[in-house]
């Protein structure tokens, strides 16, 4: 039985095309369509309901030492108000999930994990925490909205006071005051983070405030071109920005090193560290590909070298509306992972040419 976010009816009323994703019924697009929604984020602003993501908390004197053991990143040097990207790994050095970690205080952390891995991650964390730390799953109490695009700052400032707006990327404000049209005030965590490669914010509010916040943002953002955007655009945007997605670029068999993702191997021990080291130098590497032939190259397509050897596979691929080209990410044998290398993808029996290019495909100046 799929779950619904607090905004489900809002999406239905707005004409959202509802699909199942990560155990939730979510809008893949609105009548505007994926391309218009993608372009809104790149040129103006888009609003996403990402309440399907799961929020877990670790609090107590032993929070840091537990987190250090659970994740690939070094938590010990985080400051209050800082956000860090990290991964959970299994005993074989493969990735259990990727997540972001919010340090609210030295002994209070918020973890935001993928909806599709909610149950797996919750069980994994519960199994591995010990000592003086309290673990809670607060997902049902929390809603999350993502406001992304060059106009997001102007829009947010219309309802959020200055002191509640984080000034730096991967930082957040705890307890920001948001004054909605009509006078209602709500409190939220506001972070300068996102999954689009564009400037923007993610806002964590109480589930019961989500609808009012959503409507408020759309109202005050209308003259800036703000429109609601679905999961279809979320995927084309993150792929255009070269961002990995669990279940595609990462899974329980792929290690952070193969995925080209950071992990701190010396100075701290974490679950899976020894296995990652034991795997040695990666034999496969994640690469970015630009399709030079005609068509879209999608996940699971095989990749071939010009001499006909199968050398890898595609993990994600789509047509990027802003760059107006088809791009993909995939894995190839490390000796083939050379920028400029020309490969062929097998797309339903047809060979389409692609070329390895650096990641990301699209990046803004921060």
Partner 1 sequence: MKFPAELKYTRTHEWVKMETETDALVGISDFAQDQLGDLVFVNLPVVGDTVTAGETLCDVESVKAVSDVISPVSGTVAAVNEDLLDAPEKLNEDPYGAWIARIEKVSATEELLDAAAYEAVTHEEA
Residue 306 corresponds to which tokens in the numbers above? 């010009």
Q: Which CB atom, from 164 or from 242, has the smaller least distance to partner 1? A: 242
Asked if 321 touches partner 1 (CB under 8 A), the answer is yes
Residue 363 corresponds to which tokens in the numbers above? 């990046």
Min CB(328)–partner 1 separation in Å: 13
Task: Tell me how far CA of residue 61 lies from CA of 58, 69, 295, in angstroms.
Answer: 10, 14, 54
Residue choice 23, 150, 262, 295 for contact with partner 1 (CB under 8 A): 295
> Is-contact 190 164, C-beta < 8 A?
yes
Residue choice 26, 28, 111, 329 for contact with partner 1 (CB under 8 A): 28
Residue 320 corresponds to which tokens in the numbers above? 């990027």
Task: Tell me how far CA of residue 181 lies from CA of 18, 40, 214, 217, 220, in angstroms.
Answer: 28, 23, 12, 9, 8
> Three-class SS of residue 351?
strand
List of E strands, 118-170:
134-137, 142-148
| Window contacting partner 1 (CB under 8 A); options: 33-41, 247-255, 271-279, 332-340 | 33-41
Asked if 33 touches partner 1 (CB under 8 A), the answer is yes
| HSE, side-chain direction, 13 A CA sphere, residue 216 | 21
Place of tokens 């009509």: 182
Asked if 349 touches partner 1 (CB under 8 A), the answer is no
Asked if 348 touches partner 1 (CB under 8 A), the answer is yes
Residues 224 to 283 in contact with partner 1, rule: CB under 8 A: 232, 236
Asked if 322 touches partner 1 (CB under 8 A), the answer is no
Residue choice 14, 296, 341, 357 for contact with partner 1 (CB under 8 A): 296
| Window contacting partner 1 (CB under 8 A); options: 95-103, 192-200, 207-215, 317-325 | 317-325
| Window contacting partner 1 (CB under 8 A); options: 69-77, 264-272, 294-302, 337-345 | 294-302
**CB-based contacts of 54: which residues, under 8 Å, 6+ apart?**
112, 113, 114, 115, 117, 118, 121, 122, 137, 139
Residue numbers at the binding site for partner 1 (CB under 8 A): 28-29, 33-36, 232, 236, 294-296, 298, 318-319, 321, 348
């Amino acid at each position: 039985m799929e779950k619904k976010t607090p905004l489900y009816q809002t999406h239905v009323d707005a004409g959202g095309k509802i699909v199942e994703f990560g155990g939730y019924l979510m809008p893949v697009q609105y009548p505007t369509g994926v391309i218009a929604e993608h372009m809104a984020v790149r040129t103006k602003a888009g609003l996403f309901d990402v309440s399907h993501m799961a929020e877990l908390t670790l609090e107590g004197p032993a929070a840091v030492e537990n987190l250090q053991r659970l994740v690939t990143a070094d938590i010990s040097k985080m400051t209050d108000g800082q956000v860090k990207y990290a991964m959970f790994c299994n005993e074989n050095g493969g990735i259990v999930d990727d997540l972001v970690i919010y340090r609210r205080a030295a002994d209070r952390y918020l973890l935001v994990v993928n909806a599709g891995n909610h149950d797996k991650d919750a069980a994994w964390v519960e199994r591995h925490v010990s000592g003086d730390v309290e673990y809670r799953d607060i997902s049902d109490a929390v809603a999350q909205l993502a406001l992304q695009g060059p106009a997001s700052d102007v829009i947010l400032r219309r309802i959020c006071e200055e002191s509640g707006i984080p000034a730096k990327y991967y930082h957040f404000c705890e307890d920001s005051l948001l004054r909605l049209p009509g006078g209602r005030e709500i409190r939220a965590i506001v972070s300068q983070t996102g999954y689009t490669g564009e400037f923007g914010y993610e806002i964590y509010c109480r589930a019961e405030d989500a609808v009012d916040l959503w409507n408020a943002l759309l109202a005050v953002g209308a003259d800036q071109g703000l429109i609601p955007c679905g999961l279809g655009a979320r995927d084309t945007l993150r792929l255009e920005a070269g961002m990995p997605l669990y279940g595609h670029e990462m899974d329980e068999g792929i290690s952070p090193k193969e995925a080209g993702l950071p992990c701190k191997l010396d100075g701290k021990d974490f679950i899976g560290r020894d296995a990652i080291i034991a795997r040695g130098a990666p034999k496969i590497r994640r690469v970015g590909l630009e399709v030079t032939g005609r068509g879209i190259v999608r996940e699971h397509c095989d990749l071939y070298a010009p001499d006909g050897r199968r050398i890898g596979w595609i993990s994600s691929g789509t047509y990027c509306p802003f760059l107006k080209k088809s791009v993909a990410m995939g894995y190839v044998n490390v000796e083939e992972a050379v920028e400029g290398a020309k490969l062929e993808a097998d797309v339903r029996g047809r060979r389409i040419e692609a070329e390895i290019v650096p990641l990301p495909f699209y990046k803004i100046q921060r």
